[in-house]
Structure 1
Amino acid sequence: MKKTILAKDYAEKCLRPPKKFFSWAECYFPIYKWENKTQAICSSNRKSEVCEVVKKRLTKNSRLTFYGAPMYFVWLGVTEKRIELQTYQCYQHIEDGKESFEFSLYNLEYFSKDVGHIKITRSYEGYRYGLSILGVFQGTYSGAYFYDTKESIIKKFSKSCLKYLDMDHLINNFDVLLQLDRIFKYRGIIEYAQKTGMKGIVKEIVGEYIYYGYAKSIKHGDMRVLTFKFLKKHKSFFKNSEKMLANLKYEQFAISTYGTYIEGLENYFKLEDFNLFPKEVKPVRFMKWVVKNQVNGIDYRDYKRNIERLNVAFVGERIVMPQNFQQAHDDAADAYTAIIDEKQISLYEERLKELLKTERTIGQYTFLVPHTLKELREEGKKLKHCVGSYTNRIAEGETSIFFVRDKKNKDKPLYTLEMHKRKIVQLRGTYNAPAPEDAWAEAKEFLTQVDCLGIHY
């Protein structure tokens, strides 16, 4: 009869971190110093150059005995047969002005070929299966400090069951330790994808971050589809490229719908934009025109809508495939806007009084409000995107647009920010390119500050 392995068995037999791991962790806690004219008490012999020093006046009522808040530290343990991700909870205890530390294993993730992936956590009754969060509304690694560097992780994994993976590529593109469960589980498929240059497929298997305003999550590919058999069948498509499963589906849909596909079309037209294809033009010709002129599906839909609003039939090659699409798009938007401008201007002027209160500089970026609807259209022309067509929605309060500029060059368009109902809708640069992470970080802070003003946006 096979012996049942208890959670405490894994915890008691886990690998032991080196002493320098605990010394490293202790450096995150402050050194306390109490002083008066005649006496001085220091809580630690640790070097003050690498630790925070908290100085206090020594009096009769000085509190010299207390517990600090817990902190969490993560160590990666690796042998040839197993991998362990150990999280330790540490308390700093000050008693009569002298410190001591209490370390205990809090969470353990255990990986091996024999048992797969095991999760262990500490509870009041002892150790049990599962993982515990590190605080209210936090995850299992939120706020924890990781001991291992990129170099040490690569070195450790070179002696493990993951030694055949290109860990250098993984560690430079993913949070390897946070996504270790996926990497371990699908190590065979990842190894095959790496050796055949399927960089996009590796990204789908391991997962990539996607952002929703303040929040972010990891998006994974469908492993029911991404099997060895599937990848071998479509090896020629994915090999030595960044192509992902969505690219294959897109190409297959285009061929099944229109009998052809032009490389790069997916960068401009989404699947839901295929209903915009004009019937009087051959699909392959229209696709080539889209790619050559870099026509975004959103802009083309907006252009078609404005043409129809002007009571002009959306037919004829000069209309459906203008030689200068951006100019034709802007002309149609301007013509339609001229009809409704007078009403919009009065509506926007009422909103502008409140919106001007939001203008501010955060970090290296200045956030400005378009003072007129004409400024909005100019922004769209300079950054080559369709924000100029948002005038009606902005005037009526359906959404709000802010100009994001470098604080040292406030007159030069950089990024355009759309916010509505306490959320960031989008943050785009030239040709609708996504803004970098630092701009996103400042935009989130801007959103927080604007929320405090109680202004409708």
Structure 2
Amino acid sequence: MKLEKSELDEILAHFPEKINQAMVDYVTDVVLLSSRYIFTKRSGSGQQYGYCTHCKKTFKTPNLKHNENTSCLECQSICTVKASGRGRKYLQDRGYFVWYEKSLVNSIAITARGIEVYRDYSGDYKKVQTDFHVTAIYLFEPGKTLMIDRYYWNSSWRKRKSIISESNTSKKNIRCYYSRESIAEAVKGTLFQYSTWEKFDHNELLEFFDLAAKYPCIEYLSKLGLTNLIKDKLVGRKTYSAINWRGKTLDKVLKLPKQEIKAIRDSKISVSYFSLYLYHQSKKDGSNLDLKEAVHLSHLVEPFREDDLKVLQNYTTMRKIYSYIKKQYANKNKKHYYHAPQVIGTWKDYIADCKKLEMDITQESILFPTYLYKAHQDTIKKIKYKEDQELNELIAKRLKVLNSYSFEYKGFFIRPVISTKELIDEGNALSHCVGGYAKQYAKGGTDIFVIRKVSEPDKPFYTVEIRNNVIYQAYGFKNELPTKDVQAFIDAFTKAKLTKRSKGRKVAV
């Protein structure tokens, strides 16, 4: 949103107009520390001389070679040697940093500026200057925050809808820094000095101060030892509405009785949003898990099975879910349940099969079979799936993207399922229920892949479900877990195709 001049002037009044000496020193000593050169040339007698761009002195040198690193004989800085006679058309250094300061208008507010710095050595290397270009500014006042940045094609300002870090967007391909010393100075005498910012290091702390300005409870949570909740919020993980961010007291924030908050403080229980959600849900259904049980249940369910748990909540209480998962996992056959969340997945699929077979799942003997794995295998055998041409057409459209995940490694390969018939054949051959995933797969609710041996490309071997770039489940014949060599292949596939690589480089100094 483009800013009117009056609004822009009101915002800019919070910020100093000039770059101060502390910022200049920070750029010299941190952001562009590697931008130090010794340019060499020879006199008529053959003596080599060097000029240091840091201390700006000329001196006799030994025979230095182009592009080697050495210490300046005058200032002792580590510099890169450059032969002055070589072309310097592309010798330019760039960096970006975020600098915090107090507001010039509001004594309890803090500000930050995102600044790009640039040096160009293509001309006279003895006259190189550091150019400072403010590309984003941030204002953090209690209850209110804002960010404005420049349009990339001109120098006019626009207001952002939310606080973002340029190091993850327009500056992700250059070296990025932020000054924690500037933060320490900026927060003195403001409410932010109690925010416990010292415990965090995420995206130049811009999102942290955004949260701290809007929700003073950040301080309460951090001092209670629940910094993990704040970190999860900062990186955008699901919060399940487990926190009342606008609560004025800790019991209102956590929606917990004061005695249980004391128990968290005394026992140092590691509480997550999900465990708080489970605790609150058990209160609603009357089964009343205590906080330790809710935390344990969250470990049994996570990762990736929250949606499956919500399906189970339609049929029973949290306490019964908790007890049944523990019982099934304690009696586990290692071929079927490598970790507890797989019990949840099997149980959810079993219930779906029961509904298709019109079994009465209100009966506890059906809803809670003594041996879940065997009960699920029995329902799989009774269900017959049919090929669906309409779904095949949707799958064909999805393959344009999913084929890019195909991968081969050490005698195995993985590719997406190509049709409902293949899903049905896969399930029949391996005696598992993947045939029932056709509609969900075709409509993009999940991704289904098959693993094959290179030597037997058409023989069903293992089936893999992927959601949000995470392997949700991987099963072979009769839901057998991956063998060591198959798991090694899955790990290699995950690293090559599913793992997101960090593009931005951020350093706090």
Flag the 1:225–1:70 CA change in 2: closer, same or farther, 3 A.
Answer: same
Q: Secondary structure at the match of 1:443?
A: helix
What is the aligned partner in structure 2 of residue 389 from structure 1?
433
Gaps of 5+ in 2: 1-8, 55-66, 70-77, 302-307, 329-339, 453-460, 476-480, 482-489, 501-509
Deviation sequence 1:412-451 (CA, Å, 0-9, x none) = x9994537xxxx464236899xxx99976633489xxxxx
The match for 1:22 among 25, 28, 43 is: 28
The match for 2:375 among 322, 328, 333 is: 328
Q: Tell me if the contact between 2:94 and 2:118 (Cα under 8 Å) persists in the aligned partners.
A: yes
Deviation sequence 1:168-216 (CA, Å, 0-9, x none) = 5333xx4452313334415742222223334455446x533349xxxxx
The match for 1:190 among 213, 218, 228 is: 218
Q: Give matches, 1:168-317, under 5 Å.
A: 168-171=198-201, 174-175=202-203, 177-185=205-213, 188-199=216-227, 201-203=229-231, 207-210=234-237, 225-228=246-249, 230-231=252-253, 234=256, 235-238=258-261, 239-240=264-265, 241-243=269-271, 247-248=275-276, 250-258=278-286, 260-261=288-289, 263-264=293-294, 265=297, 268=301, 270-277=309-316, 285=320, 287-293=322-328, 294=340, 296-310=343-357, 312-314=359-361, 316-317=363-364
What is the aligned partner in structure 2 of residue 450 from structure 1?
none
Flag the 1:254–1:116 CA change in 2: closer, same or farther, 3 A.
Answer: closer
Flag the 1:283–1:89 CA change in 2: closer, same or farther, 3 A.
Answer: closer
Flag the 1:343–1:194 CA change in 2: closer, same or farther, 3 A.
Answer: closer
In 2, the alpha carbon distance for the partners of 1:365 and 1:147 equals 44
Percent identity between matched residues is 14
In 2, the alpha carbon distance for the partners of 1:137 and 1:167 equals 19
Q: Secondary structure at the match of 1:329?
A: helix
The one-letter code matched in structure 1 to 2:327 is K
The Cα of 1:303 is off from its aligned counterpart by 0.4
The one-letter code matched in structure 2 to 1:273 is L
Deviation sequence 1:343-400 (CA, Å, 0-9, x none) = 99xx9xx99x9999964259x998624898799669999xxxxxx4223545997264
Q: Tell me if the contact between 2:217 and 2:245 (Cα under 8 Å) persists in the aligned partners.
A: no
Flag the 1:194–1:127 CA change in 2: closer, same or farther, 3 A.
Answer: same
The match for 2:114 among 87, 97, 109 is: 87
Q: Tell me if the contact between 2:165 and 2:206 (Cα under 8 Å) persists in the aligned partners.
A: no
Root-mean-square deviation (Å): 6.1
2:448 is equivalent to residue 401 of structure 1: yes
Could you say which structure has the greater relative contact order, defined with CA pairs below 8 angstroms and 6 or more residues apart? Answer: 2
2:414 is equivalent to residue 368 of structure 1: yes
In 1, the alpha carbon distance for the partners of 2:68 and 2:347 equals 63
Gaps of 5+ in 1: 212-217, 382-387, 406-412, 447-457
What is the aligned partner in structure 2 of residue 147 from structure 1?
177
Flag the 1:134–1:18 CA change in 2: closer, same or farther, 3 A.
Answer: same
Q: Tell me if the contact between 2:465 and 2:474 (Cα under 8 Å) persists in the aligned partners.
A: no
The one-letter code matched in structure 2 to 1:196 is L
Q: Tell me if the contact between 1:32 and 1:54 (Cα under 8 Å) persists in the aligned partners.
A: yes
Q: Tell me if the contact between 1:373 and 1:391 (Cα under 8 Å) persists in the aligned partners.
A: yes
Q: Tell me if the contact between 1:8 and 1:127 (Cα under 8 Å) persists in the aligned partners.
A: no
Q: Tell me if the contact between 2:38 and 2:82 (Cα under 8 Å) persists in the aligned partners.
A: yes
2:466 is equivalent to residue 418 of structure 1: yes
The one-letter code matched in structure 2 to 1:11 is P
Q: Secondary structure at the match of 1:179?
A: helix
Flag the 1:415–1:223 CA change in 2: closer, same or farther, 3 A.
Answer: farther
Deviation sequence 1:33-70 (CA, Å, 0-9, x none) = 999xx999x99847854789999996xxx7x6689696
The Cα of 1:309 is off from its aligned counterpart by 3.7
In 2, the alpha carbon distance for the partners of 1:370 and 1:6 equals 52
Q: Secondary structure at the match of 1:17?
A: helix
Paired residues, what number? Answer: 394
Flag the 1:71–1:395 CA change in 2: closer, same or farther, 3 A.
Answer: same
In 2, the alpha carbon distance for the partners of 1:34 and 1:367 equals 55
Q: Tell me if the contact between 1:32 and 1:44 (Cα under 8 Å) persists in the aligned partners.
A: yes
Q: Secondary structure at the match of 1:85?
A: strand
Flag the 1:227–1:166 CA change in 2: closer, same or farther, 3 A.
Answer: same
Flag the 1:440–1:57 CA change in 2: closer, same or farther, 3 A.
Answer: farther
Flag the 1:329–1:145 CA change in 2: closer, same or farther, 3 A.
Answer: same
Q: Secondary structure at the match of 1:177?
A: helix
In 2, the alpha carbon distance for the partners of 1:193 and 1:109 equals 24
- TM-score using structure 2 length: 0.54
Flag the 1:77–1:70 CA change in 2: closer, same or farther, 3 A.
Answer: same
Q: Secondary structure at the match of 2:16?
A: helix
- TM-score using structure 1 length: 0.59
In 2, the alpha carbon distance for the partners of 1:227 and 1:329 equals 48
The match for 2:496 among 435, 438, 442 is: 442
In 2, the alpha carbon distance for the partners of 1:380 and 1:92 equals 63
Deviation sequence 1:239-279 (CA, Å, 0-9, x none) = 344445665554444433345447345654634432223xx
The match for 1:109 among 117, 138, 163 is: 138
Q: Tell me if the contact between 2:36 and 2:52 (Cα under 8 Å) persists in the aligned partners.
A: no
The one-letter code matched in structure 2 to 1:276 is Y
What is the aligned partner in structure 1 of residue 4 from structure 2?
none
Flag the 1:29–1:78 CA change in 2: closer, same or farther, 3 A.
Answer: same
The one-letter code matched in structure 2 to 1:226 is G
In 2, the alpha carbon distance for the partners of 1:86 and 1:365 equals 53
Q: Tell me if the contact between 2:138 and 2:148 (Cα under 8 Å) persists in the aligned partners.
A: yes
Q: Secondary structure at the match of 2:23?
A: coil
What is the aligned partner in structure 2 of residue 449 from structure 1?
none
